[in-house]
């Protein structure tokens, strides 16, 4: 399938959207309440289409695929193994859906693909000389166990009263607002630990493993060093400090585990048929993999704009990045 989307590629085969990443109106001053409401409820927006999907998945997981909280009071192999198997199954289903459609079936060819090249094979940079097999190794043998360990810790903490718990029936507004805020907290936490991981000693020891994926795919999202997984999933520990419900912890961990497949998909849109398409990958984060020293966070929490590390894919942004790196080398 040849490119049919309304875009052109440069001489390197790269493409960028006609509209650059736009800031979230949530932080505008003076406030623009109507713009914020459109961003929150509009399409595409904060809730639609993907946040509601992940909320529904987290809710179904809590209601039907989580042991009774009383059972988690003691650390028994049975329920821990169930959580591990459940997380593995959910992750494989979600990530494989992205990977099979875009990279195995190649159902939309390179339409809306940022980089026209496909995933690397026969490359000694990766384990087993394969980008996909390398990504699978780190995701399945490190990310899923770390995700599960955090979830087991949280459920055990809730069951034993170590984590302050709120009854959803008694405090529905608080619990709903907290649930809505979780994607924002996850992205703030990601920015903080991501900046830390780009400190040269930590980058060389840990984060460089993830950045082997210059041209990422869905399985690249969680292809990280095990120590980075420990940092990456640690945002859920905030619920040891603020009152919450087990659903909040489950949703937080699922967002942290599943959204990277979408964020690293490498395609601007997911084309279902000529009339139906959905927003897919995050061009903002793709540029981070392309240029490394920019776009450490996400536009929902625009810290890159505030701290001068924002890149929108334009030539002006590329020149600003080069100037910033030259200044850093000079120590100014």
pLDDT tens column, 184-207:
999 999 999 999 999 999 999 999
Span 102-112, pLDDT tens digits: 999 999 999 99
pTM: 0.94
Residue 11 counted as domain residue: no
Query: Among candidates 303, 277, 273, 275, which has minimal Cα distance to 288?
Result: 303
Beta pairing partners, 308: none
Does 206 map to a domain? yes
Please give the span between the terminal C-alpha atoms of the chain, in angstroms, as a whole number: 49
Burial of 124 (0-12, 13-18, 19+ CB in 10 A): exposed
φ, ψ of residue 279 in degrees (nearest 5):
-60, 135
204 falls within a domain = yes
Looking at residue 315, what is its pLDDT?
84
Residue 5 falls inside a structural domain: no
Q: Which residues contact 245 (CB under 8 A, 6 or more apart)?
A: 165, 166, 167, 168, 175
Residues 142 and 226: beta-carbon distance below 8 Å: yes
Domain limits for position 86: 62-114+128-330
Give helix 246-263 / helix 172-197 axis angle, nearest 10°.
50
Candidates 53, 52, 77, 82; CA nearest to 66 is 82
> For residue 32, is it within any domain?
no
pLDDT of the chain, 332 residues: tens digit per residue = 444 555 567 777 788 888 777 788 999 999 999 999 999 999 999 999 999 999 999 999 999 999 999 999 999 999 999 999 999 999 999 999 999 999 999 999 999 999 999 999 999 999 999 999 999 999 999 999 999 999 999 999 999 999 999 999 999 999 999 999 999 999 999 999 999 999 999 999 999 999 999 999 999 999 999 999 999 999 999 999 999 999 999 999 999 999 999 999 999 999 999 889 999 988 889 999 999 899 999 888 999 999 999 998 888 888 888 888 888 777 75
Shortest CA distance to 109 belongs to which of 269, 289, 287?
Answer: 269
In a domain, 120, yes or no: no
Q: Strand 269-273 vs strand 276-279: parallel, antiparallel, or unpaired?
A: antiparallel
Q: Which of 152, 136, 149, 293 is nearest to 218 (CA)?
A: 136
Residue 326 has a pLDDT of 83
Q: Is residue 20 part of a domain?
A: no
Residue at 23 is within a domain: no
Question: Count of domains in the chain?
Answer: 1
Residue 265 CA to residue 286 CA, distance in Å, equals 9
Instruction: Check residue 2 and give its pLDDT.
Output: 44
Spatial neighbors of 320 by CB under 8 A, at least 6 apart, are: 311
């Amino acid at each position: 399938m040849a490119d049919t989307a309304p875009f052109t590629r440069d001489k390197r085969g790269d493409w960028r959207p006609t509209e650059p990443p736009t800031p979230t109106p949530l932080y505008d001053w003076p406030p623009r309440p109507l713009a914020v409401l459109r961003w929150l409820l509009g399409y595409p927006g904060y809730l639609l289409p993907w946040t509601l999907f992940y909320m529904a998945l987290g809710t179904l997981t809590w209601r039907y695929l989580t042991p009774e909280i009383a059972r988690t009071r003691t650390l028994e192999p049975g329920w821990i193994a169930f959580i591990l198997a459940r997380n593995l199954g959910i992750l494989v289903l979600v990530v494989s859906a992205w990977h099979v459609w875009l990279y195995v079936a190649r159902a939309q060819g390179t339409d809306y693909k940022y980089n026209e090249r496909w995933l690397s094979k026969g490359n000694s940079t990766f384990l087993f000389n394969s980008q996909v097999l390398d990504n699978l190794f780190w995701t399945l043998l490190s990310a899923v166990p770390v995700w599960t360990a955090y979830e087991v810790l949280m459920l055990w903490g809730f069951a034993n009263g170590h984590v302050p718990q709120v009854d959803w029936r008694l405090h529905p507004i608080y619990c709903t607002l907290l649930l809505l805020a979780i994607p924002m907290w996850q992205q703030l936490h990601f920015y903080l630990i991501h900046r830390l991981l780009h400190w040269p000693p930590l980058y060389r020891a840990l984060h460089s493993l993830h950045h082997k994926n210059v041209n990422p795919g869905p399985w690249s999202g969680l292809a990280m060093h095990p120590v980075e997984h420990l940092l990456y999933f640690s945002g859920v520990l905030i619920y040891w400090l603020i009152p919450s419900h087990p659903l909040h912890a489950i949703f937080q961990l699922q967002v942290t585990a599943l959204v990277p497949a979408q964020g690293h998909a490498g395609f601007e849109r997911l084309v279902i048929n000529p009339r139906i398409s959905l927003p897919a990958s995050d061009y903002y984060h793709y540029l981070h993999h392309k240029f490394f020293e920019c776009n450490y966070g996400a536009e929902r929490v625009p810290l890159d704009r505030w701290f001068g590390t924002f890149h929108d894919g334009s030539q002006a942004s590329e020149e600003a990045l080069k100037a910033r790196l030259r200044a850093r080398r000079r120590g100014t």
